[in-house]
Amino acid sequence: MNLAGFRAVCDDGWRRVNDTPGFLSEREARFLMLAAAAAPADGAIVEIGSFKGRSTVGLAYVAQRYGLGNVVAIDPHTSPSTTDPDLGSRRSSYDEFQENLRRAGVAEAVDCRRAFSQEVARDWSRPIRLLWIDGDHLYEAVKRDLALFRPYLAPGAIVAMHDVVGTWPGPLRTFVEDVLGSDDFGPAGCFKSIGWAQYRPTNRRARGFRWRRWRLAVALRHLIPVAEAGWVTTGLDRWRHRFWWRLLPHGAVDPARWTAQVAIK
Ligand SMILES: C[S@@+](CC[C@H](N)C(=O)[O-])C[C@H]1O[C@@H](n2cnc3c(N)ncnc32)[C@H](O)[C@@H]1O
């Protein structure tokens, strides 16, 4: 991937994402597009939780521009979990999802699976280069989504999880326990509320990343009770919450630095 060219692709992609309703900030969308384009692994881009297509549009735009195959977008479109967005008077987000993909010009680049992640996982057999988890945010569900698709991660693949920082305890706990706590993962970090890590099961250098994963895990672990309390803290707890939160990376993504970090030498 040519980094100078990627900036223009990313700007175009962001314009399309920005026109699509949903739950993804600009920094998060730009990171996701970078991860889709630059993950040094072959395989599918898999999204769990599409809703009206905001993240799908960014992923599909990049997939289209770089010939990465169709994005597999998994969602029953019924907002089945208590952590899902409200559908209002509608029974499904599917029609709006399709309309948004068409408007963004990416409908042809998306393989829509109108099903639960656990149903799709039953017949799954393809390697994955980017696994984007943004479905049911309950602890057991996030853990299950990672466990079901983890066996298919290609070496070098990226796992990115939404709402690790700042909203739900489920993704936060799963990221700390199952991603940062595992030597199968190498480089890892956060961008806004996204937690990400690179799958490097056989790379000996992965041990060198243990310290950085541990440091990130220490700060995030202290935020689990804060997330469980709905991010409402007072007095000394508020001070502690802010202290650990400030230790997390909060900058915008730098494509050159990030790509160098995940390059497999
Ligand atoms: C937070 S929304 C996704 C937001 C979307 N990624 C965006 O960029 O706006 C969560 C979605 O997960 C879906 N969902 C809930 N449980 C699921 C499951 N088990 N498998 C797949 N999708 C699921 C819901 O239907 C809902 O549309």
Q: What is the mean pLDDT of residues 146-168?
A: 96
Q: Measuring from atom 11 of ligand 1, which residue has the nearest CA? A: 49
- Measure 206 CA to ligand 1 centroid, in angstroms: 31
H/E element, 190: strand 185-191
Give the number of the atom of ligand 1 that is nearest the alpha carbon of residue 116: 20
- Measure 68 CA to ligand 1 centroid, in angstroms: 23
Distance of CA 125 to the CA centre of its chain: 21
Tokens encoding 231: 């991010």
- Measure 167 CA to ligand 1 centroid, in angstroms: 15
Give the number of the atom of ligand 1 that is nearest the alpha carbon of residue 141: 19
- Measure 15 CA to ligand 1 centroid, in angstroms: 22
For residue 265, pLDDT beyond 80? no
Residue holding tokens 């409908």? 107
User: Is there a contact between 148 and 125 (Cβ–Cβ < 8 Å)?
Assistant: no
User: Is there a contact between 99 and 56 (Cβ–Cβ < 8 Å)?
Assistant: no
Pocket of ligand 1 (CB under 6 A): 22-24, 48-51, 54-55, 74-81, 84-85, 93, 116-117, 134-136
Q: Measuring from atom 16 of ligand 1, which residue has the nearest CA? A: 136
- Measure 135 CA to ligand 1 centroid, in angstroms: 4
Confidence tier at 233 by pLDDT (50, 70, 90): confident
- Measure 64 CA to ligand 1 centroid, in angstroms: 22
- pLDDT at residue 66 in the model: 96
Provide the sign of the torsion angle of the four alpha carbons 117, 97, 252, 13, taken in this order.
positive
* Kind of pairing between the strands at 153-161 and 194-199: antiparallel
Tokens encoding 264: 């497999």
Burial of 63 (0-12, 13-18, 19+ CB in 10 A): buried
Give the number of the atom of ligand 1 that is nearest the alpha carbon of residue 163: 1
- Per residue in 52-111, pLDDT (tens digit) is 999 999 999 999 999 999 999 999 999 999 999 999 888 999 999 999 999 999 999 999
H/E element, 45: strand 44-48
SS3 246: helix
CA–CA separation, 184 and 6 (whole Å): 29
Q: Which residues contact 251 (CB under 8 A, 6 or more apart)?
A: none
- Per residue in 197-229, pLDDT (tens digit) is 999 988 656 667 899 899 999 999 999 999 998
For residue 238, pLDDT beyond 70? yes
pTM across the whole model: 0.97
| Domains annotated on the chain, with CATH | 3-262 (3.40.50.150)
